[in-house]
Structure 1
Amino acid sequence: MMQGSLNAGVRWGVYAFTSFWGAYLLFQLEPLIGKFILPWFGGSPAVWITCMLFFQVLLLAGYAYAHLNLEHFPVRRQGVLHAAFLLLALFTLPVTPEQSFKPDSSEQPTLNILLLLLSSIGLPFFILSTTSPLLQAWIVRINPYRSPYTLYALSNFGSLLALLSYPFVFEPYFKLGQQTLGWSAGFVIYVLLSAGIALDFRRLAKAEAIVATPMALDDETRIADRLSPTMLWLLWLVLPAATSALLLAVTNQLCQDVASVPFLWIVPLSLYVISFIFCFARHDWYQRRIFIPALFVAAIALIGVLYGGGRFTLEAQVGIYGAGLFFCCMTCHGELYRLRPQPSQLTAYYLVISTGGALGGIFVALLAPQVFPLYFEFHIALFACCLLTLFAIGVESQLLERKRRRPLVWLLAGAGLIWLGGNLANHAFQTAAEKTRVNRNFYGVLRVEDRAVENPTLAKRLLRHGAIDHGFQFLAPEKQQLPTAYYGNESGVGLALTHFARADGRRIGVVGLGTGTLLTYGKANDYFRIYDIDPAVVELAQTYFSYIKNTAARYDIVVSDARLAMEREAPQAFDILVLDAFSGDAIPMHLLTEQALQLYLRHLRPDGVLAIHITNHYLDLRPLVSGMAKRAGYAYLLVQSEPSEELGWYRADWALLSKNQSFMQQPVLQKFKEMSAAPVESIIWTDDFSNMFRLLK
């Protein structure tokens, strides 16, 4: 046994580093595996939300194992059991998902993702999730006079470092294969350290050098001993459930209209972890007089973004959503820390917290899409965080009767809560009102809306995804066949479909159906092959819009991820291939990589045209299409068309890539040559290497 103070210090250092390293690996694995499988399921933000649900449930399983190990196994067997699990996890390396899990269809993606994650990273993730509660429970039995919560804060610091290092260090400079191998090597180090700790704990247990029950420390408890067990456990459950739900809801809000990329996954998760670090590292870092007012200021700012999101820049939206999430987490987790128990209840405390986190994830990832037509879980989670914070404070104020009553403070807090709830309810009502049809599924929320109905010449029906139009159709019969939105006659795709001719008819591929507007360009001998991953888009386009029904061309609609479908198909010999599969401003990055380009060229005739829609509020995609053109040896033109309210045209940016000089030299296109010749950096993405930062406007 390590008897001296130096030996005790060394042991504490080993426990501290292993807690840090386990958490680092745990949270590095999350964005790594999320990015790995994102292209397999259409690049939807819901892929990451489903991954987060898996992580939370596995974290709960790890905490449950730690609790059961401590409560139901003799101390001499606890270390042996854990060492056996550690060695078993080594046989799952490297953590690379099997290609056989690529989906054949776009149906039931949630179940497919969960099964994929379970088979590829389930055991290593489970083992890593046991680290924090198990090591804290062991160390307080070896050194019963030292607070274990320092290790918890240290593990959260490891989590934060992993999250911040991934988008800035690993994603931009290492390919996915290199990342998985490096992670696997780090996991081997973790297993060796943890196995050593487990065997050392067994040796100490055999020598009867540990205490059966940790000491009760007076300075480690405040309110927990005075509350009834039912109320205590309820607060342990609902406070983390609210913050977990808000974390996923904020992630959804950010990713729907920008891009489902690790950076925008990691920002909310990092702020969530930072709140745990601040609240659990020192008892005086959470100050109510600072964070409660900040919470309500952040809530006011969030209301402003909800009502006027289109007026805010990307940076402002990320900042306001991030601040709101952080202050909600600080108050809820700060109150959670004030309710911490004696060390003897440590694993039960963490088990209930993780249960709350999993329930929040289940609410957002599984329940909300079935119950709510729109993203109302954000409204509910925000209100719940504020309400539960005040409830926890109220419970404590009732117990500590010596504290001075502050009726004015409570009156103001109650009024603020009513104001917040009223505005959230009003926004939810306004968002849902006056919609012809709302459809929500794994791929997002689609809304069919009628606009300007009081003006017959401008009345139109729109299909919206998030805050962006997928297309629209005029309601006046004489204007129903006009190509509108981003697809007008003077847009890049409009010029391509108008001026590229084949005597015997054209074969046209379209990635992204929208309302079916491009079918207005179809002629009797033309054939359109349209790919769309979302069956709801197809159903709404066929039901509420007449572009598909009235087209003169022949067509097929393939309900699948375009890239996966094209990989299975024989070469289609397209004359024109149109890429327009963006959900809002979100970028399906797997459709813009070098490997995707090679696939498109396999399906495109040598003299064909590749038309890429690059209109975007936040990202400048010109360097990417420039790089794609140079890599393929194609000439390219950037076509910017101006809006027209009368004709129903939006401002649109398209890139046309082709080796067909007779087409590219047409006067109608040559007027864009000078604009296209402007120097621009060329960037190439690959399936395992991309960097969105270089494209930010």
Structure 2
Amino acid sequence: MPIFVAATFLSACLVFLVEPMVAKMVLPLLGGSPAVWNTSLAFFQFALLFGYAYAHLLQRVKSLKTQALVHIAALALAVLALPLRVTTLLGPASNDHPALWLLGVLAISIGAPFAVLSATAPLVQAWFARVYRGEGAPQPYPLYAASNLGSLLALLAYPTLVEPFSTLAHQRMGWSALYICFAILLSVVALRAARQGGEVVVEQPTEVTPRPSWKTRLGWLLLSAAPSSLMLGVTNHLAMDVASTPFLWVGPLALYLLTFVIAFADKPPIRLNQALLAQAVIVPICAAFAPYVTGPIAFQIILHLATFFVTALVCHLVLVGKRPAPDHLTEFYFWMSLGGVVGGGFNAFVAPLLFSNVWEYPIILVLALLARPWEGWRIDRWRLGVVATCIVLTVLAPITAQLWGYDSDELEIVRKGLLLGAAIYAVPVRNLTPYFVGLVALISFCAEHVGDRINSGPSFRNFFGVISESIETDDDLGDIKIISHGSTLHGAQAQDPELRCKPLLYYNDATPIGAVFAKVTSAPTPVRMGVVGLGAGVVSTITRPGDVLDYFEINPVVVKLAKDPEEFTFLSNCSKGKVNVILGDARFTVEEQPNQLYDFLMIDAFSSDAIPAHLMTVEAMKIYLAKLKPGGVLMVHISNRNLELASPAMAVAKAAGGYARLNDFDTDEEGYTSAALTVMIVGKSAQVVDQYAVGEGWTATPPEVVRPWTDDYTNLMGALIRRAKQEWANATAPDDDEDEAEDDSAATDDEGEGEDDTETAAPTPPVAAAPANPATKP
């Protein structure tokens, strides 16, 4: 028994350790896109199905000895793919078909070991049943428990223990060594089973129950596909505005696995009626607030993960209730596995072709409610009144926005209150499934029209994300066209012909970035500049005759929009120097440029609100510094609502041999003439940096001393925690104005009227606040 349990436990650990590890290895090759994990997970689901099919076919071999020898050969062949690494056989990443390139890379790099590992659970259970048979023989349940325990422990260990405390190189070699140990262990299990199990007599089973209908099979597939799709949908939703990183990947995957454990238990700790009630409460709330992405990140993560968990659990509990008789269990598990592949494949490959925005998450969330018990369309009078009230509250939210606009904070609170009220009113009709589904769909639809991701123009979607356009109106500037990625602006251009070449937001003259621009363009001779992140092409407005500007951009859609004069005219009409656009991941395209080429280099590569971590490592910083002339300067834009990036950025600059200054800039300006931001400048000497660190706010002291990030080590979990601490400190810090008023009042009480001799103490400097990137709707 122990050796069977050990083999099952170790295989599950290796499977769920390698998934986030390999995705993290591939992530820098594709610009840090959240789609890397979705595509990778879809591949792993297919490989898992392939492993199950292989195990099923191997069981048709009569001799256990032959089975053992075949599988030992498969283990040995898979070892040839080690040590674990990303293959270079397919060349550099493709910008035109990145998903196909990624599938090929994963198949070559990890396909064989992963498929062999996936086959372990069914094979070992089959061998166990052959070795331990007869009356009083032990049951295979410990193997199922060991598999689930190994999977959950590995998923939880990777972001909390493995990733923060070990480098990728150590992870790769450690996993490869563990796989070899596993191959030896499983070979021993196979040979022992072959000696003790004897011949497998393949008999045609006698069916005692009718074969499942195609309707039943379709039900199995859909009930399995919905949670799989939701898992990728919620991961993509969270990763888009935080970071594409394992600590956000494994949460939904662990909860997905946990719902299987609960649903397939002999006595589920959460019963179906309890899960249905929890789903009825939380799903309408999630539908109402999902489009609001600028709120507290902890609230967003908890809300979406809880919604996903209860919805997936309902689907899996209903699925277990539809299990067939034992003589059809093999077919049941096949359709269940196929449903997982269908759900993951839909999100990874089909949805980007069907939708111009990430609509699959709210759509599948609503459709998954159809798994609830169906009691028909009959409705009594009081519930009809509840439905009507819910509809009125829901539609009032977008109506108020259309009548009075989106800019008022007070009206936004009213709209959120209306949507929350509608979500509460949907709960009483939870047992009337068609009405409940319709109400949640209406809430989701209306919330999308008032959330802070609202866009009034077209959206363009590809592997690298969703790029949206919209037109906003500013009191001083008039109409402004905006290009955005998720909740982060990539550029804004005034439509007034006289203002079209005026830099707005981060790049305005009033910001530290604008001040550095002014210093760069004050040079008496032409300068060579490089900018990572094209956006709308705003930086081209600072070029002079003779200047050369190289843009580095990974997303072909962004390049197309920036170059099209019908969309934005910064490149076509506002630049006075020569502008080149180089397509590809900036980490590699910048490295291809000659050393000491640039007078000025800027990293401004937002992926929604997250900056690709591979552009902020010591190795990347050394590349940037090598491309600078001796008097050149590097500027890194690290504004982020959810991650505290200033500390690791300063540590990276120092570890790479550079000298850095940081500016955490805030502004009272409203609209598009300025924006709060955090920016760092780096040079090869302190003297060079001092020349550019003009104005107030520049400091050489990092907010917190942390370990610098490298290609082998990043700690985004730590960055998230530090930002949360800052937000808490800001929320609990005393208000300076109130303290000042209290001081004035006390002085007046003590000294009479005190108008001439009251002296107000200097206020205590506030804790550094998180710079807020303007959302698509300011």
Same fold, judged at TM 0.5 (above): yes
Once the two structures are TM-superposed, the CA of residue 106 in structure 1 deviates from its matched residue by 2.1
Partners in 2 of 1:104 and 1:62 — Cα distance?
27
AA matched with 1:482: K
AA matched with 1:169: L
Judged with a 3 Å threshold, the aligned counterparts in structure 2 of structure 1 residues 226 and 206 are, in CA distance, closer, same or farther, namely: closer
Deviations 1:191-220 (A, max 9, x none): 122222222333344367x8968999xxxx
Secondary structure in structure 2 of the residue aligned to 1:459 = strand
AA matched with 2:503: P
Residue correspondence of structure 1 range 131-150 to structure 2 within 5 A:
131-141=120-130, 142-143=132-133, 148=140
Partners in 2 of 1:20 and 1:468 — Cα distance?
43
CA contact (8 A) 1:256 1:586 kept: yes
Kindly indicate which of the two structures has a greater share of residues assigned to helix: 1
CA contact (8 A) 1:157 1:277 kept: no
Judged with a 3 Å threshold, the aligned counterparts in structure 2 of structure 1 residues 411 and 52 are, in CA distance, closer, same or farther, namely: closer
- Please tell me whether residue 327 in structure 1 is matched to residue 347 in structure 2: no
Partners in 2 of 1:361 and 1:73 — Cα distance?
35
Residue correspondence of structure 1 range 292-371 to structure 2 within 5 A:
292-310=276-294, 312-371=295-354
CA contact (8 A) 2:79 2:180 kept: yes
Deviations 1:610-666 (A, max 9, x none): 111011101111112221332224142325152533653221221112246566445
AA matched with 1:525: G
Judged with a 3 Å threshold, the aligned counterparts in structure 2 of structure 1 residues 538 and 649 are, in CA distance, closer, same or farther, namely: same
Judged with a 3 Å threshold, the aligned counterparts in structure 2 of structure 1 residues 449 and 601 are, in CA distance, closer, same or farther, namely: same
- Please tell me whether residue 548 in structure 1 is matched to residue 548 in structure 2: no
Quick one: which of 33, 36, 48 aligns to 1:47? 36
Q: 1:513 is matched with which residue?
A: 534
Partners in 2 of 1:434 and 1:81 — Cα distance?
57
Judged with a 3 Å threshold, the aligned counterparts in structure 2 of structure 1 residues 608 and 661 are, in CA distance, closer, same or farther, namely: same
Deviations 1:273-332 (A, max 9, x none): 11112222333324012111111222022113224332x211111111110111112111
Q: 2:443 is matched with which residue?
A: 423
Once the two structures are TM-superposed, the CA of residue 506 in structure 1 deviates from its matched residue by 0.9
Q: 1:380 is matched with which residue?
A: 363
Once the two structures are TM-superposed, the CA of residue 135 in structure 1 deviates from its matched residue by 2.4
Judged with a 3 Å threshold, the aligned counterparts in structure 2 of structure 1 residues 94 and 343 are, in CA distance, closer, same or farther, namely: farther
Partners in 1 of 2:613 and 2:693 — Cα distance?
31
Partners in 2 of 1:105 and 1:491 — Cα distance?
36
- Please tell me whether residue 284 in structure 1 is matched to residue 308 in structure 2: no
Say which is worse superposed, 658-667 or 501-510, in terms of deviation: 658-667
AA matched with 1:503: P
Partners in 1 of 2:703 and 2:508 — Cα distance?
27
CA contact (8 A) 1:493 1:578 kept: no
Judged with a 3 Å threshold, the aligned counterparts in structure 2 of structure 1 residues 214 and 335 are, in CA distance, closer, same or farther, namely: farther
Q: 2:653 is matched with which residue?
A: 629
Partners in 2 of 1:182 and 1:172 — Cα distance?
15
Partners in 2 of 1:138 and 1:231 — Cα distance?
33
Once the two structures are TM-superposed, the CA of residue 240 in structure 1 deviates from its matched residue by 1.2
Q: 2:663 is matched with which residue?
A: 638
- Please tell me whether residue 112 in structure 1 is matched to residue 101 in structure 2: yes
Partners in 1 of 2:9 and 2:499 — Cα distance?
64
Partners in 2 of 1:72 and 1:409 — Cα distance?
54
Say which is worse superposed, 492-501 or 251-260, in terms of deviation: 492-501
CA contact (8 A) 2:535 2:562 kept: yes
Secondary structure in structure 1 of the residue aligned to 2:478 = coil
CA contact (8 A) 1:340 1:349 kept: yes
Q: 1:688 is matched with which residue?
A: 712
AA matched with 1:509: G
Once the two structures are TM-superposed, the CA of residue 414 in structure 1 deviates from its matched residue by 3.6
Higher relative contact order (CA 8 A, sep 6+): 1
Once the two structures are TM-superposed, the CA of residue 433 in structure 1 deviates from its matched residue by 8.4
Q: 1:232 is matched with which residue?
A: 216
Secondary structure in structure 2 of the residue aligned to 1:490 = coil
Once the two structures are TM-superposed, the CA of residue 525 in structure 1 deviates from its matched residue by 2.1
Q: 1:56 is matched with which residue?
A: 45
Once the two structures are TM-superposed, the CA of residue 77 in structure 1 deviates from its matched residue by 3.4
CA contact (8 A) 2:482 2:493 kept: yes
Once the two structures are TM-superposed, the CA of residue 235 in structure 1 deviates from its matched residue by 2.6
Secondary structure in structure 1 of the residue aligned to 2:605 = coil
Quick one: which of 19, 24, 45 aligns to 1:35? 24
Say which is worse superposed, 636-645 or 441-450, in terms of deviation: 636-645
Unaligned runs of 5+ in 1: 1-9, 217-223, 395-407
Judged with a 3 Å threshold, the aligned counterparts in structure 2 of structure 1 residues 188 and 345 are, in CA distance, closer, same or farther, namely: farther
Judged with a 3 Å threshold, the aligned counterparts in structure 2 of structure 1 residues 76 and 667 are, in CA distance, closer, same or farther, namely: closer
- Please tell me whether residue 560 in structure 1 is matched to residue 584 in structure 2: yes
Residue correspondence of structure 1 range 426-575 to structure 2 within 5 A:
426-427=446-447, 435-452=456-473, 457-500=477-520, 501-543=522-564, 544-549=567-572, 550-571=574-595, 573-575=597-599
Once the two structures are TM-superposed, the CA of residue 553 in structure 1 deviates from its matched residue by 1.5
Partners in 2 of 1:226 and 1:542 — Cα distance?
63
Judged with a 3 Å threshold, the aligned counterparts in structure 2 of structure 1 residues 343 and 17 are, in CA distance, closer, same or farther, namely: farther
TM-score normalised per structure 1: 0.89
Secondary structure in structure 1 of the residue aligned to 2:243 = coil
Partners in 1 of 2:217 and 2:606 — Cα distance?
44
Partners in 2 of 1:645 and 1:79 — Cα distance?
71
Partners in 2 of 1:608 and 1:480 — Cα distance?
29
Secondary structure in structure 1 of the residue aligned to 2:432 = helix
Residue correspondence of structure 1 range 63-102 to structure 2 within 5 A:
63-71=52-60, 77-101=66-90
Q: 1:221 is matched with which residue?
A: none
Secondary structure in structure 2 of the residue aligned to 1:486 = helix
Secondary structure in structure 1 of the residue aligned to 2:506 = coil
Secondary structure in structure 1 of the residue aligned to 2:694 = helix
Partners in 2 of 1:582 and 1:433 — Cα distance?
19
Judged with a 3 Å threshold, the aligned counterparts in structure 2 of structure 1 residues 426 and 66 are, in CA distance, closer, same or farther, namely: farther
CA contact (8 A) 1:50 1:110 kept: yes
Secondary structure in structure 2 of the residue aligned to 1:470 = strand
Partners in 2 of 1:411 and 1:587 — Cα distance?
44
Partners in 2 of 1:318 and 1:624 — Cα distance?
23
Q: 1:398 is matched with which residue?
A: none
Q: 1:397 is matched with which residue?
A: none
CA contact (8 A) 1:76 1:202 kept: yes
Once the two structures are TM-superposed, the CA of residue 73 in structure 1 deviates from its matched residue by 5.3
Partners in 1 of 2:177 and 2:690 — Cα distance?
55
Judged with a 3 Å threshold, the aligned counterparts in structure 2 of structure 1 residues 347 and 83 are, in CA distance, closer, same or farther, namely: farther
Identity rate, percent: 34
CA contact (8 A) 1:621 1:695 kept: yes
Quick one: which of 193, 196, 203 aligns to 2:188? 196
Judged with a 3 Å threshold, the aligned counterparts in structure 2 of structure 1 residues 434 and 169 are, in CA distance, closer, same or farther, namely: closer
Judged with a 3 Å threshold, the aligned counterparts in structure 2 of structure 1 residues 211 and 557 are, in CA distance, closer, same or farther, namely: closer
TM-score normalised per structure 2: 0.80
AA matched with 1:60: L
Say which is worse superposed, 354-363 or 640-649, in terms of deviation: 640-649
Judged with a 3 Å threshold, the aligned counterparts in structure 2 of structure 1 residues 682 and 170 are, in CA distance, closer, same or farther, namely: closer
Partners in 1 of 2:142 and 2:217 — Cα distance?
22
Say which is worse superposed, 642-651 or 243-252, in terms of deviation: 642-651
Partners in 2 of 1:341 and 1:175 — Cα distance?
47
Partners in 2 of 1:22 and 1:653 — Cα distance?
45
Quick one: which of 609, 613, 618 aligns to 2:633? 609
Secondary structure in structure 2 of the residue aligned to 1:669 = coil
How many residue pairs get matched? 661
CA contact (8 A) 2:30 2:36 kept: yes
Partners in 1 of 2:463 and 2:329 — Cα distance?
37
Say which is worse superposed, 116-125 or 140-149, in terms of deviation: 140-149
Judged with a 3 Å threshold, the aligned counterparts in structure 2 of structure 1 residues 207 and 115 are, in CA distance, closer, same or farther, namely: closer
Partners in 2 of 1:390 and 1:456 — Cα distance?
55
Partners in 2 of 1:158 and 1:238 — Cα distance?
27
Q: 2:602 is matched with which residue?
A: 578
Q: 2:694 is matched with which residue?
A: 669
Once the two structures are TM-superposed, the CA of residue 270 in structure 1 deviates from its matched residue by 1.0
Partners in 1 of 2:191 and 2:330 — Cα distance?
20
RMSD (Å), alpha carbons: 2.8
CA contact (8 A) 1:445 1:466 kept: yes
